[in-house]
Amino acid sequence: MTKTHSTRIHYTAQLIFLGVRKLKIPYFCSNFDFMNPDIFEWIGYAASVFIVSSFLVNKIKFIRIINMIGCLCFVVYGTYFQFWPVVIPNAILVFIQLYFLVFKDNKVKG
């Protein structure tokens, strides 16, 4: 990866988290780097936990919600590391889960 490409990625990520950086954080956290790759690695681990946990639930609504949270975590993780084969299917799954949560589940009840 070239230096300009890396700088552009870092600048874009900083713009995304600009609101987070403007938060008033406690003094002991003032040197915390929100763009630390380790944070995004842990987001990837959390995504895996959510996806696996969704298989342990019996109610379809909770399965969809937990799975959607895991997919969102994978989208954040994949976007930061530019793993587009991870981002694309998980982003599609988020929209599928939202569609079923908002439209289909309400039609079954009504």
For residue 56, the SS3 value is: coil
- More reliable by pLDDT, 101 or 23: 101
pLDDT at 17 over 70: no
Angle value at C-alpha 49, between 18 and 12, nearest 5 degrees: 20
The token pair at 14 is 């900083």
Counts of helices then strands in the chain (DSSP H, E):
6, 0
- More reliable by pLDDT, 98 or 38: 98
- Mean pLDDT over residues 93-110, rounded? 82
Residues in the chain: 110
- More reliable by pLDDT, 99 or 4: 99
pLDDT in tens, 23-44: 455 555 556 566 788 889 999 9
The conformation of residue 21, written as its DSSP 8-state character, comes to: H
Distance CA 74, CA 5 (A): 22
Whole-model pTM: value is: 0.67
Domain edges within the chain = 1-35, 36-110
Q: Give me the pLDDT at residue 97, please.
A: 95
Work out the burial of residue 83: count CB atoms within 10 Å of its CB; fewer than 13 is exposed, 13-18 middle, 19 or more buried. middle
Look-up: residue for tokens 């530019």? Answer: 82
